[in-house]
Amino acid sequence: MKKITTYIIIGMITSISMIPFVNGKTHQDEYIIKNTFNQYSGLFSRNPDDQINNEVIKSLIKCNSENSLINHYDAEKQEKKSHNLEDSSTKEWTWMFYDDADFDNAFDPLTMGTEEYPTFVQETCSGENLNIVVLQDGEHQPASLWYINGQHETELIREMDEVNMGEYQTIYDFIQFSKENFPAERYFLSLYNHGAGWRGACVDDTDNDMLSMDEIQNALTNSGGIDIICFTAPCLMGSLESVYELRDCVDMYIGSEAVSGYGHWYGTIEAMCDLFEKNHSMTNYEIGEYVIETIYSNTPAPDMITMSAIRTDYLDSLALNIDILCQHLLNNYDVSRKNILSILSSISTFDEGVVDFFEFINNYQKVENNQTIMHCIENVITTYSEVIIAECHGSNFPNANGLSIYFPINKKSYNNNYNDEQYGLDISNDTNWDEFIVRIMKTRSKNPINLIIKHIFENILVKIFPYNTFAQYQNS
């Protein structure tokens, strides 16, 4: 385990808080059926028209006189079991689940599910070699700290007031508390909520806040680091910038390049729990590979998944090679610009300004003739292949290769936080990637109509005026 930091995010779904149905439909039934496709679309994608997505959603909202719509555990209405913190023997694993369900119409995987799609509690349990600790925060509700015992039951550790899940102090305190009270040889941290790639994850609607990657890095660094970080629902967290930010805090990083959702993790959560309890010989890297294989086998929506397991010990080398490449691209900009612009339109995008990194590098290699730059590209590709332990992608994302990177096509779509030193994004502070894309954007942002007019006007000037006069015009 690296002793500096680690961070795992377990994802998020946009959905709807529901109460059980009893004896058929309730007064909420029409509202739920009318709004479910908008509310539940975050399970697997942003597109409610996807056939597979709709089939899963229908299963989740299915209700009749015999079955509840949702298996919603209400801690206030059931007898609470308390957990005794006196037993602090060291186990092989401690799993920390950062359950941030504090967002609009939140679906909470800890307590909401069906027979086909079980809750987090139903899929996990502590054992001789595993402790499972959960920090749960609901929408405009007080937070609770739970222990999941060996019988798939929640035991209350502490009731709290509202906590800001989008704040450094909260995640730091949770990790520190878990380590002090549930010591282990290895630590796994998973967070649930929205994701925004290099901008961070875990929105807290009550406090109107979100964890930045710099906050996550600092919280994990100051709490001593963990072994594996896993984004089990947040979208876009398979970004090179996010992984690089946590390179000194975690050995293994798992996240999705594209839109995602907790629905992909049904079955895999249980498999991971079983693995942590029974198999102690697997390395963190082997676990990462196992998780990718398992999630691709279990997801109800294989066409819509992207997921990758990243080892962090080669990220400094990858960043160095990217920086060297960018320096050569900037030094030979007039030539490299034309080659880059010729392939940009063919690169897959996962969100505004977010592209698959390997697809960009691989396509650029095919059109570049400069031998020095080609050598730099080969070095980038070599270290990139060492970083990716395993990845999977469905037919909806045929060109996903494991990691995305920020590459907006014009200046208007550029987020100035990306290269703001105070914002604290390491990839921008440590490499020339941000300088490179800003230079490209300046070229792309020019109006093509104006460029054509300028070109025609220059040709006219060349014929009418002497060369020296035209040169003065060009430099004005």
Task: Give pTM, 2 decimals.
Answer: 0.80
The pLDDT confidence band at residue 81, using thresholds 50, 70 and 90, is confident
Confidence (pLDDT) at 444: 52
CA distance 296 to 276: 19
Confidence (pLDDT) at 410: 74
The amino acid sitting at 325 is L
To which H or E segment does residue 461 belong? helix 448-464
Confidence (pLDDT) at 341: 86
To which H or E segment does residue 34 belong? helix 29-39
**What is the average pLDDT across 339-368?**
91
pLDDT > 70: what percent of the chain?
75
Matching residue, tokens 């604290």: 424
Contacts for 390 with CB less than 8 Å, ≥ 6 apart: 288, 289, 292, 293, 308, 309
CA distance 193 to 178: 20
Q: Is the pLDDT of residue 231 over 90?
A: yes
- 253-305 pLDDT tens trace: 999 999 898 999 999 999 999 999 999 899 999 999 999 999 999 999 999 99
CA distance 9 to 13: 13
Output phi, psi for 136, to 5 deg: -115, 130
Residue 335, classed as helix, strand or coil, is helix
Q: Is the pLDDT of residue 136 over 50?
A: yes
Matching residue, tokens 């006189």: 65
| Dihedral-angle region of residue 193 (phi above 0 means left; psi in -120 to 50 means alpha; beta otherwise) | left
- 183-227 pLDDT tens trace: 999 999 999 999 999 999 999 999 999 999 999 999 999 999 999
Could you please report the per-residue DSSP string of 68-135? -S-----TTTSPPEE--TT----EEEEEEEEEEE-STTB--TTT---SSS--HHHH---BTTEEEEEE
Q: Which domains does the chain have, with CATH numbers?
A: 81-313 (3.40.50.11970), 316-444 (no CATH)
CA distance 386 to 229: 18
The pLDDT confidence band at residue 442, using thresholds 50, 70 and 90, is confident
